[in-house]
């Protein structure tokens, strides 16, 4: 019976079963078998290992941080995308537009609501609107506290560096960024999590060092100097153009007039 159900599901939804590898998504059983056979024959000599320079201690810490990110930041992301009423996933974005298997997502809450009357028995319907509002208010407070503490913890791990565990990007950077960027730029109207993460600067953008601030000041000064020189040469060009258009005069008067015009333009600009 299970095999029959699987075959019926396969015929009803043509994209199932599926396999995802990096940027490739393969559906149907023959295509998956062929794709796996090609992976077995291929070598990974040209693959880039971000964590090749990590020591054994750092690899152990990386595994622990993977679990922490998935258990905590992943929960905040799931809450922002699927639990808030303003960010209703089914109303704001059609699930069928998403890639597999996201467009087959069925919230567990919906399944519980379907079987609630069967499990607890039917009775007089009660108005739980006030209770729901209070529950949502307390739930948002809990999310604020947990998100702020988690973001502060990751910011302390990052400290003033641009990357975790060194001066190059690691897989931990990619893993945390994949969650944090979705929370900083959510495609939904409710900006609760974004308002919590934005003040915590290391997660959004690493702090500027003294050297970078000096470089920026020097760059602004150079741009201002070049802007002044451009204005000066532009004024000289305008004076020369006006002299060419006017009536001809003797060479002594013209030279004196040219020098006066050029010097006055340079003094006014500089």
pLDDT of residue 249: 47
pLDDT of residue 32: 74
Question: What is the pTM assigned to this prediction?
Answer: 0.42
Complete DSSP assignment for the chain = -HHHHHHHHHHHSTT-SEEEETTEEEESHHHHHHHHHHHHHS--TT---TTTT--HHHHHHHHHHHHHIIIIIHHHHHHHHHT-STT-HHHHS-GGGSPTTGGG---HHHHHHHHHHHHH--------HHHHHHHHHHHHHHHHHHHHHHHHHHHHHHTT-SBTTBSS--HHHHHHHHHHHHHHS-SSS--HHHHHHTT-HHHHSPPPPHHHHHHHHHHHHHHHHHHHHHHHHHHHHHHHHHHHHSPP--HHHHHHHHHHHHHHHHHHH-
Length of the chain: 270
pLDDT of residue 243: 64
**Structure token digits, residue 14:** 């043509």
Integer Cα distance of 104 and 106 in angstroms = 6
Integer Cα distance of 79 and 73 in angstroms = 10
Q: What are phi and psi of 52, to 5 degrees?
A: -65, -30
Reading the chain (270 residues) residue by residue, the pLDDT tens digits are: 555 555 555 555 555 567 777 677 777 767 777 777 777 666 554 556 677 777 888 888 888 888 877 777 777 777 776 666 555 555 555 555 555 555 555 544 454 555 555 555 555 555 555 555 555 555 666 666 666 666 667 666 666 667 777 777 778 778 877 777 777 776 666 666 676 666 655 554 444 444 555 566 677 777 777 777 777 777 767 666 666 665 554 444 444 445 555 555 555 545
């Amino acid at each position: 019976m299970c095999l029959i159900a699987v075959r019926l599901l396969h015929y009803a939804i043509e994209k199932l079963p599926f396999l995802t590898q990096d940027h490739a998504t393969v559906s149907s059983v023959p295509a998956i078998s062929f794709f796996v056979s090609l992976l077995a024959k291929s070598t990974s000599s040209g693959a880039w290992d971000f964590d090749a320079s990590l020591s054994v201690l750092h690899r152990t810490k990386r595994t622990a941080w993977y679990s922490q990110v998935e258990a905590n930041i992943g929960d905040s992301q799931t809450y922002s995308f699927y639990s808030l009423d303003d960010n209703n996933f089914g109303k704001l974005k059609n699930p069928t537009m998403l890639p597999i298997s996201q467009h087959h997502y069925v919230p567990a809450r919906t399944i519980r609501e379907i079987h609630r009357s069967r499990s607890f028995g039917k009775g007089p319907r009660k108005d739980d609107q006030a209770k729901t509002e209070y529950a949502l208010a307390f739930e948002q407070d809990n999310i604020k506290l947990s998100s702020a503490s988690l973001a502060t913890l990751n910011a302390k791990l990052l400290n003033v560096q641009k990357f975790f565990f060194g001066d190059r990007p690691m897989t931990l950077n990619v893993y945390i960024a994949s969650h944090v960027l979705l929370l900083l730029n959510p495609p939904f109207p409710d900006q609760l999590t974004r308002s919590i993460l934005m003040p915590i600067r290391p997660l959004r953008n690493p702090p500027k060092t003294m050297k970078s601030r000096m470089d920026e000041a020097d760059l602004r000064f150079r741009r201002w100097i070049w802007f002044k020189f451009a204005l000066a040469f532009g004024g000289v060009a305008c004076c020369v153009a006006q002299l060419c258009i006017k009536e001809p005069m003797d060479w002594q008067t013209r030279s004196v007039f040219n020098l006066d015009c050029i010097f006055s333009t340079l003094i006014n600009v500089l």
